[in-house]
Amino acid sequence: MAASKKSWFTKFLIWRVKHISERKFIYILSILVGFTSGVAALILKNLTHFFQHLLEGNLVKYYHQAFYFAFPIIGLILVYLVIKYVIRHKLSHGIPSTLYAISKHKGIMRKYQMFGSLLTAPITVGFGGSVGLEGPTVATGAAISSNISRMFHMNQNNRNLLIGCAAAGAMSSIFKAPIAAIIFAIEVFSLDLTIASMLPLLLASISAVITSYFFFGDDILLPFKIEDTFKISDVPFFVILGLFAGLTSIYFTEVYERVQKLFDRISSPIKRLFIGGISIGILVYLIPPLYGEGFDVINSLVQGNPEKVLTNNILELDLTNVWMVIILLTGLVLFKIIASALTFGAGGVGGIFAPTLFMGSIMGNIVAKIINNIGVFGTKVSESNFTLVGMAGLMAGVLHAPLTAIFLIAEVTGGYELFIPLMITAAIAYSITKYVHPHSVYNMELGRRGELITHDKDHAVLTLMDIDKVIEDNFAIVHPKMTLGDMVHNAVVKSNRNIFPVVDPDDKTLLGIILLDDIRAIMFNQSLYNEVLVSDVMHTPPDIIEFDKDKMTEIMRKFQDSGAWNLPVIKNGIYVGFISKSKLLTAYRRRLINFTK
């Protein structure tokens, strides 16, 4: 049976090559990828809402608020058990793991990644983990897309494109914002905006949003409708909002990074689980709005009901005092990212997209409330508009995706009345955050290691190149105690290269190099054959390439700075071979041609 299935599939692949062009087949696969991403979003959302309704909607509401403390810990323990005994592989965070697969694994994602987030993210968020579902949805769709691409023998460029289609499909399905979803895939995954890539992204986005409408109907995650029109006199206030969004984005990134580094120092996953679990439990117990994604909080703020968000404050403070409301909302902004980072540190699975929207909406609402109640400006601004634009500001800053931020809010609000304030706030927030943190939270670690694919084609092509593909090892090796005669007879005569690595015969470490020009004047003087040793004429190479440390961008820089045509490669000090500038540039040109097809 297995053989017949394989034979049938092989026949289909042969038929496909003969009758369907590569480009048309990409269009078909992009529709399929959009559909699968939409289904992944459906499963993740429904499972999460089931857990959250069962726990927060019943046990907490009708029994005791102490469950707020217990549920996150229980959820994290369940996630740990699922990863350890069901998935049996380390599960990385959604979008960063996808970016890593693109930059270092040629777009290949393991099969367990197709269901890993589906099993763990709903438990994490449904049990109170203060993270979002967008990242896991993108990662699930990307993993499915990657494996579909491998099944149909797609090349690396098409695999990466279809992963981008999966990202667009996931975002389109979640927010019912197909245009913003396409821009998200282009901005975050650094896809080239060409006709060849645009149509598959469009098909995937349409396929996913239709799937979402089919299963979810007209239900919208963020059901906004602009009621207050934009006034040109409000521009200075949106500039202020952009400044606050930039500062909040820096705070978000700093806290996230420091908490992650703190947990990285804890080697035991059990210790991380209980330290993080107890910490997040305490936070959620003291501040219930931190439970889960927080979209109910966002919707309440946009509708002008902040009191609904804060009614469960443990101190039972007076919510009729607007400054008390501002203080409590500020607390939500400050503690949301701490709760999210603790959830990740403890082993939870989720994303930071929802926490970004959560913090941005509250930050915008706070700025509007301060402007309206400070009694200095003599004018009132729309709190609902500032809540919406605040989300865009934090998205632009934290995710380094200003265009996604602008178009997402424009689409979910059903119009472009806020386009000018969205552009102002997003541009300012992005510029401030980019100056302090060159890389977004998604790609911070990859960016530091020089492994990030960017819109800079030169950098992207170099990142995608493999060092082991350009190493040459057909060089005649000589040893420091060899005589000139030994070198001439055993190396020079037998080699067609004009460079000779000098290697220690015991530990194989590279000691130096000899160029043919270094011995040309004496190599025919046989009276020196027994007097001159290799160690007498060898010298230090102009630079050395370290196999495990140097990225292609650094290798190219070493060639440029040294002016050399060949540089030796070492791995842990041991000689491996040479890289020639000519071979490197040839490989670069080939990769560039493939990259820009």
In one letter, which amino acid is 75? G
Would you state the pLDDT for residue 294? 84
Report the C-alpha gap between 292 and 487 in whole angstroms: 71
Nearest to 132 by CA among 295, 338, 375: 295
Q: Report how far residue 3's alpha carbon sits from residue 273's, in angstroms, rounded to the nearest whole number.
A: 46
Which CATH architecture best describes the domain 460-595? Answer: Roll (3.10)
pLDDT at site 2: 47
- Write out the chain's pLDDT in tens, 597 residues: 444 546 787 787 777 777 888 888 899 999 999 999 999 999 999 999 888 888 876 666 555 577 788 889 999 999 999 999 999 888 776 787 787 777 777 778 888 888 888 999 999 999 988 998 888 999 999 999 999 988 888 887 888 889 999 999 999 998 888 999 999 988 887 766 677 778 999 999 999 999 988 887 766 777 777 777 888 888 999 999 999 999 999 999 999 989 988 998 888 889 999 999 999 999 988 888 888 888 888 888 887 777 777 766 666 666 678 888 888 899 999 999 999 999 999 989 988 899 999 999 999 999 999 998 887 777 889 888 899 999 999 999 999 889 999 999 888 877 678 889 999 999 999 999 999 988 788 776 555 444 445 444 445 555 556 677 788 888 888 888 888 888 888 888 888 888 889 998 888 888 888 888 888 888 888 888 888 888 888 888 888 888 877 777 778 888 888 888 888 888 888 898 888 887 777 776 666 655 555
- pLDDT at residue 17, as a whole number: 77
Domain assignments of the chain as residue spans, ordered by start? 20-216, 232-455, 460-595
Q: Give the pLDDT score at 303.
A: 79
Q: Which fold has domain 20-216?
A: Clc chloride channel (1.10.3080)
Q: Give the global pTM.
A: 0.78
pLDDT at residue 246 in the model: 95
Sign of CA dihedral 21, 26, 32, 35: negative
CA atoms within a 13 Å half-sphere pointing along the CA-CB vector of 262: 16
Do the two domains 20-216 and 460-595 of this chain adopt the same fold? Answer: no
Report d(CA 69, CA 75) in Å as an integer: 11
* Nearest residue to 92 via CA among 119, 111, 116: 116
From the candidate CATH numbers 3.90.550.10, 1.10.1740.10, 3.30.1130.10, 1.10.3080.10, the one assigned to the domain spanning 232-455: 1.10.3080.10
Q: Hey, CA dihedral for 505, 509, 510, 511, is it positive or negative? A: negative
